[in-house]
Structure 1
Amino acid sequence: MNKYIDIGINLTNRQFDNDADDIIQNGIDADVVQMILTGTSVKNSQESAKIAAHYPGVLYATAGIHPHDAKSFDGQSIAQLKALLQLKEVVSVGECGLDFDRDFSPRDVQERCYKAQLELAIEVQKPLFLHERAAFNRFIAVTNEYLPQLPKAVVHCFTGSMAEAKTYLDNGFYLGFTGAISDSNRFEHLKEVLQYVPLNRILIETDAPFMLPKNVPKNQLTKYHERRNEPAFLPYVAGTIAQFKGVGLDVIARHSTENAKGFFGI
């Protein structure tokens, strides 16, 4: 039996209000044996850690401040995140990084918040869950300042170019792939990227409730929810990667699971 680990789900999102337990069970029923809840603010990270604690060995969480939420960063934020990172179920620093696509927080504030979390990851030596959108050059410049000291890092929900992928891989980063890879209209270039990325650097995620894979059968959508992504659909992400790389689904399941266990120490 293939087993999967979803490295990024937004279980505190309002789309999952009142049925989070069902979402988790749906995932388990689809052989997604472990899931990592993404923290995007101090408050959200606290909520994610609380949920994860109720499912020991199944759910884990990250603790961080997303660039969209960088405007909430204050003098207490790092101490609050550090306290969360002492918990055994909190396995990563993030989601953190830069997003110049929407600029929901001022760019200088994003950078200050990101640098503080890079320093936190170095201090606590837990891996980084990174976000970069429309900010590659500045993101690399900032990250390179800390690179020799950084723990492991994954650029989650990667949709960038081959050149960007090569830069991240050359820096020792992992790449996280979502259902975006099945969108041949917007992200056709990711087929070539995935053919290039070695199996030992691939992590898979749903980023649920977002990034619904295009190849989920309609009867599955009707069974769960017509528009919402969830961990139960992770095998469709793995299936697309297997197709692109010309290998069996079991190969992707095995490698991505081993990678996730080693990366997050779970």
Structure 2
Amino acid sequence: MQLIDIGANLTHDSFDHDRDAVLQRARDAGVVQMVITGASREHSPQALALAQAHPGELFATAGVHPHHASEYTDECDAEMRALHAHPQVVAVGECGLDYFRDFSPRPAQRKAFERQLQIAADMSVEGIGKPLFLHQRDAHADFMAMMKNFAGRLGPAVVHCFTGSREELFDYLDQDWHIGITGWLCDERRGLHLRELVKNIPANRLMIETDAPYLLPRTVRPQPSHRRNEPMYLAHIVEELARDRGEDAEATARITTGTAREFFRLPGL
């Protein structure tokens, strides 16, 4: 299987001591390309640097997660726009709203999100707004309202690490947005509802991701003692996802890889 991990936080300091080994284990598990998540002023440039060090294999996003929205100043906006001038940066984000944690005040979250939506509208690729890598948790109504304010001005969007309700899923699909599925699917405490919901995601809207080092699939055996997730476990997520969708794992891999490559405009291998 050839797999693409559309969301891995490989700039996280937990990878500092063995990042090259993590990449090799991913390759050995069939992960042929990855999109490295940029989610802050600090880590977005690091994601780009990592992508530049692995041309054709690693790519990056650049954005400010709602947890870090308080850092979104005029200077930050200029930094993000400069990052998006690089061809290795394939999406705007991770950006959005998170009212579950409220690590940044909600008005600051909305302001940072709006400014990043404006970047996506301004930065076109082949005449289409740059893809969006989105985060939403416990903020659905405001999230939808802000996205609709930019209707007709945005390119493709993926709601990364989807964990929401049936109503949220269908709201996203009605907008022709893509859905990113993680190892949350494998969590018997919180993810059981996803086992049914993933059957409703059209093949051309479905992508997969680990969100490493977070969300280690709870059904991986043996469980690593350190509990750190890494991209090699994407193969396990595909197997679980395929079973829930009633598909062959090879078919699910082929579908999600093709969709990711088209969405992010990644080169073929």
Q: Report TM bin, short chain.
A: over 0.9
The CA distance in 2 between the partners of 1:226 and 1:110, in whole Å, is 32
Q: Deviations over 1:179-218 (max 9, x none)?
A: 0001122111111210111111111000000011122120
Partner of 1:195: 199
Pairwise mapping of residues 77-226 of structure 1 onto structure 2 (< 5 A)? 77-125=76-124, 126-218=130-222, 221-222=223-224, 226=226
Q: Residue 148 of structure 1 aligns to a residue in which SS?
A: coil
Partner of 2:44: 45
Pairwise mapping of residues 16-31 of structure 1 onto structure 2 (< 5 A)? 16-31=15-30
User: 1:14 Cα shift?
Assistant: 1.7
User: 1:93 Cα shift?
Assistant: 0.3
Query: What is the TM-score with the length of structure 1 in the denominator?
Result: 0.96
User: 1:119 Cα shift?
Assistant: 0.6
Q: Does 1:232 align with 2:232?
A: yes
Pairwise mapping of residues 224-263 of structure 1 onto structure 2 (< 5 A)? 226-263=226-263
Query: What is the TM-score with the length of structure 2 in the denominator?
Result: 0.95
Q: Residue 141 of structure 2 aligns to a residue in which SS?
A: helix
The CA distance in 2 between the partners of 1:27 and 1:53, in whole Å, is 18
User: 1:226 Cα shift?
Assistant: 3.6
The CA distance in 1 between the partners of 2:81 and 2:257, in whole Å, is 27
Q: Deviations over 1:12-42 (max 9, x none)?
A: 1121122111111110111100011100112
User: 1:70 Cα shift?
Assistant: 0.5
The CA distance in 2 between the partners of 1:104 and 1:245, in whole Å, is 35
Q: Residue 6 of structure 1 aligns to a residue in which SS?
A: strand
Q: Deviations over 1:98-126 (max 9, x none)?
A: 00001100100000000000010011021
The CA distance in 2 between the partners of 1:147 and 1:229, in whole Å, is 36
Partner of 1:73: 72
Structure 1 ranges of 4+ moved more than 3 A: none
Sequence identity, in percent? 44
The CA distance in 1 between the partners of 2:189 and 2:219, in whole Å, is 13
**Cα RMSD after superposing both structures:** 1.0
The CA distance in 2 between the partners of 1:97 and 1:123, in whole Å, is 17
The CA distance in 1 between the partners of 2:69 and 2:92, in whole Å, is 14
Aligned length: 261
User: 1:89 Cα shift?
Assistant: 1.0
Query: Unaligned 5+ residue runs, structure 1?
Result: none
Q: Tell me which amino acid in the other structure corresponds to 2:219.
A: N
Partner of 2:127: none
